Structure 1
Amino acid sequence: MPLDTLGEFIAAIEQSGELVRVREPVRTRLEIAEIADRCMKSRDGGPALLFERPVMEDGSTSPMPVAINLFGSTRRICLALGAEKLDDIGCRISELLEMKVPKGFLEKLALLPRLAELAKFPPKTRGGRPPCQEIVLEGGDVDLGRIPFLVTWPGDGGRYITLPLVITEDPARGIRNVGMYRIQVLRRNELAMNWQRHKVGAAHWREMAERGERMPVVIAIGGDPASIYTGSAPLPPTIDEFLFAGFLRKSPVELAKAVTCDLAVPAEAEIVIEGYVDPGEPLVLEGPFGDHTGFYSLADYYPKVHVTAATMRKDPVYPATLVGRPPMEDYYLG
């Protein structure tokens, strides 16, 4: 059976003996990252960690646990994708992504079984109130300071969201994109989105800017592990990430309508942040940020996201990852 939620994924990791629960208070500023870094650099990627009492910037203890290094071993990636071994899933992915345009009738016939398998698992829209909207905060009630976002390195520009699914839509064709970009938390309801020029989300933003229209954006945190994986996967822009996640897990991903915009969000996400980018506004300074090279990416100017709503489960877990000098968790994410 596929894993539908982050909670199910964490439970499966614990059952496999690869989860360590940290019950002592640990600070979200630098301390969680330091412990995670040592684990990730240990043999076989180290255990997944669940910090049950993260200490916030003001010294209070957050009721929201922090999970990190969830994907940081071969066994855990297999659990996430529902595979016994990585070679099994690798063959399925290769066959899908290496499909070429058929040249004749017989080649078209040979292609049908692959296309049929992919078409079995389109995302489904869920009715009613989804789990990701058990708590809904809008407007002035939004306070991102309540979420235990991490400061991972001493020279970082602030707190960062490091394992998001950033959902945007092509304004001309209506094609959805799900990407994983770092996001700096600026204030209680403002973010800086690190959309590098070659990313699909950045292309959508440029198109909306040319139109002079606000661009809706949704940031989903958590959800089923296959969807989290696909957010980081280098897929062709014509392949829908949630369709691909359904293909990997052999079961459709359930989506729901966002509260303040028309974008669809993973119904089983832990946290969803909704907002928009205004092309008429100046860019904001994002960074520095400790990066994969072991050095800091310099601060630069990127779009500002105005947060219109934050929704979440009643008892959410905040999943994060750590970016820095290898080896890190992203070795297993690919």
Structure 2
Amino acid sequence: MAYKNLQQFIQVLEQEGELVRIKAFVDPHLEIAEITDRISKTPGGGKALLFENTGYDFPVLMNAYGSEKRMCLALGVKHLDEVAEDIEHLFQLLASPKESILDKLKLLPKLGQFASWMPKVKAGKGECQEVIIKDNPDITKLPVITCWPKDGGPFVTLPIINTKDPNTNARNVGMYRMQVFGPTLTGMHWHKHKVSAKHFNEYKKLGKKMPVAVALGGDPAYAYSATAPLPENVDEYMLAGFLRKKKVELVKCITQPEIEVPADADFVIEGYVDPNDELIWEGPFGDHTGYYSLPDWYPRFHITCITHKKNAVYPATIVGIPPQEDAWLGKATERIFLAPMKMTMVPEILDMDMPVEGVFHNLVIAQIKKEYAGQGQKVMNAMWGAGQMMFNKILVIADEGVKIQDYEALTRYVFKNLNPATDFYFSQGPMDVLDHSCSKLGFGGKMCIDGTFKHDEEKDETFDLKIQSADLNILKERFSEISSLNVSLLKKDIPVLMVALEKNRKGHVRELHQAICEHKEVEGIKLILYVEHTVDANDLGIALWRFCNNLDPKRDYNLVQRASLIQPDHQFACMGLDGTRKTKEFDNFQRDWPNIIIADESTIKSVDQKWDQLNLGQFIPSPSLKFQGQVYGSEAMV
């Protein structure tokens, strides 16, 4: 369904009982984010929030995409798989043999639909230009939120950023955060892998200023399409047209007429990036990983004009410790882009899942139709070469024998089929620049766990050992550095142990893993995950989130293999993975290591005091309280 504008989407959310209007004053500096964090972590993602009293001329919409239902409403579907089914049907129709004129004529309606999805530039001005501010534009008059106490400043968090290749005129629509430095200056945080960064490099070669326009609001399909992992030659507004089943109408910008923006956007911030400018020190920023991303040098965006609707609503989001709203944007991508991956690159893939704890790239589960030995490795290589899947850190592959969304059954199935000595695969390559665990920025290790059923060629039965029935809590008595131990998975016939320890020397985790594996009581355990002592190993979801963030698989693995002490003629193998925080002192880690993101005490207290005025029902304590003992020092970077 096509929404006329963001206001219509808000009306639908309200009609569906998915929106709460907050009329009490809430400060965009930290308070809006703290309230949203509390709501987004409630079961099902809570409600969308419309903050109507912000001290600015515009209300702020938060958590609009923060549940499966709202994500479906945003895209006009009843369930997210509908979009993938439409795409798969199109692929099949276009790829099927056309033997007769009748077969070809049947395609005409679909080709007509393609044309109806293509964006159209219309003459004149759009709703987004009802108010035009060319003289002294000032972004500080918008309610740009500050999310977290150690952020470098306020950030625009849902910007739909429009650029063009100066040589081909091809459009790109992306989403990159923008730190506000002054009335007409922000940062432009596009990573080197992104298309807009490539456009910038082309302008740099030409020695020309790069026109840029930032849209906010409009049909919610625009913001989703800006985040979608499309190939470079596919226009994001065509995807938006496909999703809304109606073409996107664009209008030319006022001061940057080379760029077109959605006519129904709430705000448009026009400007340019000058390749001759000095870069600006941007960040830190509390990011989707749940950690502060490290500050770095990024281009300056100079604002030349701000336009907006008369009744504009400012859309924003926060990212931080999962779950957050962005998990549902990621879930939409997981479902929507399964079909193109299956149809074009990995035909054996049946399903895919990205657990919230894996924050998108860190952990991906793929289910395949396995027919021959080595097929898991074939899929591994294909997926790591598929667009933004190149950033994936941990890939788990299963087959038809299990439902991959049932994580307990999946884990049991994977480890039943897994030989630690042969079924872990390590590689290295490009990584998300936000991944702080890499020894080098944007380059690090990857790991594939092949949990598929093994054909005879892939089996080695000498490694078949059963989990021992011994009480492994004795490990805490033997090794004083272990602060907590999670043996709950062993009781579910899953041979995985999680250990939290306090490191106190170089090579400590490796030595501890070797020492633990010398004991016959651990035979049958195939994997031990190590986290730092500030993490409760028995809080499995949080421990896995911390583990995935802090692991560079190729650097941090340690495989122990020896003869079994219990079963003659058998081998024992156990993989150890070090998901602890890395330091210069103990790990020779030369980069800064960021802290996790939590609210400060004054913001928590302020929101606590005004909770009864917010129309949000029963009091919800701050999620940050759970993590206060896990922050290192008083600064964001340590």
**Bin for the TM-score computed over the shorter chain:** over 0.9
Secondary structure of the structure 2 residue equivalent to 1:272: strand
Displacement of 1:130: 1.1
Query: Greater shift after overlay, 282-291 or 99-108?
Result: 99-108
Q: Match of 1:13, as an amino acid?
A: L
Counterpart-to-counterpart distance in 2, 1:63 and 1:164: 19
Q: Does 1:318 align with 2:314?
A: yes
Displacement of 1:270: 0.4
Displacement of 1:295: 1.1
Alignment of 1:73-152 (within 5 A): 73-95=67-89, 115-139=111-135, 141-152=136-147
Counterpart-to-counterpart distance in 1, 2:61 and 2:279: 31
Secondary structure of the structure 1 residue equivalent to 2:241: helix
Displacement of 1:93: 3.6
Q: 8 Å contact 1:2–1:249 — kept in the other structure?
A: yes
Q: Does 1:307 align with 2:286?
A: no
Q: Match of 2:196, as an amino acid?
A: G
Alignment of 1:171-210 (within 5 A): 171-210=166-205
Counterpart-to-counterpart distance in 1, 2:175 and 2:110: 27
Consecutive unaligned residues in structure 1, runs of 5 or more:
55-60
Counterpart-to-counterpart distance in 1, 2:87 and 2:266: 27
Q: Percent identity?
A: 48
Secondary structure of the structure 1 residue equivalent to 2:196: helix
Instruction: Provide Cα deviations, 1:190-221, integer angstroms capped at 9, x if missing partner.
Output: 01000100000101001110111100000000
Q: 8 Å contact 1:9–1:224 — kept in the other structure?
A: yes
Alignment of 1:1-334 (within 5 A): 2-54=2-54, 61-95=55-89, 115-139=111-135, 141-261=136-256, 262-334=258-330
Q: Match of 1:248, as an amino acid?
A: L
Q: 8 Å contact 2:185–2:302 — kept in the other structure?
A: yes
Q: Match of 1:69, as an amino acid?
A: N
Q: 8 Å contact 2:213–2:270 — kept in the other structure?
A: yes
Counterpart-to-counterpart distance in 1, 2:265 and 2:96: 42
Counterpart-to-counterpart distance in 1, 2:220 and 2:88: 20
Counterpart-to-counterpart distance in 2, 1:227 and 1:294: 25
User: CA 1:114–1:320 in 2, change beyond 3 Å: closer, same or farther?
Assistant: same
Q: 8 Å contact 1:118–1:244 — kept in the other structure?
A: no
Instruction: Provide Cα deviations, 1:129-155, integer angstroms capped at 9, x if missing partner.
Output: 21100111114x211111000000000
Displacement of 1:102: 5.7
User: If the length of structure 2 is used for normalisation, what is the TM-score?
Assistant: 0.49
Secondary structure of the structure 2 residue equivalent to 1:306: strand
Secondary structure of the structure 1 residue equivalent to 2:117: coil
Q: How many residues align?
A: 326
Counterpart-to-counterpart distance in 2, 1:297 and 1:89: 33
Q: 8 Å contact 2:121–2:250 — kept in the other structure?
A: yes
Q: 8 Å contact 2:288–2:326 — kept in the other structure?
A: no
Displacement of 1:126: 2.8
Counterpart-to-counterpart distance in 2, 1:79 and 1:90: 16
Displacement of 1:116: 4.5
Counterpart-to-counterpart distance in 1, 2:195 and 2:218: 22
Secondary structure of the structure 1 residue equivalent to 2:173: strand
Secondary structure of the structure 1 residue equivalent to 2:9: helix
Bigger Rg, structure 1 or 2: 2
Displacement of 1:115: 4.9
RMSD of equivalent CA atoms: 2.1
Q: Match of 2:144, as an amino acid?
A: F
Q: 8 Å contact 1:4–1:225 — kept in the other structure?
A: no
Counterpart-to-counterpart distance in 2, 1:172 and 1:104: 36
Secondary structure of the structure 2 residue equivalent to 1:120: helix
Q: Match of 2:242, as an amino acid?
A: F
Q: Match of 2:270, as an amino acid?
A: E
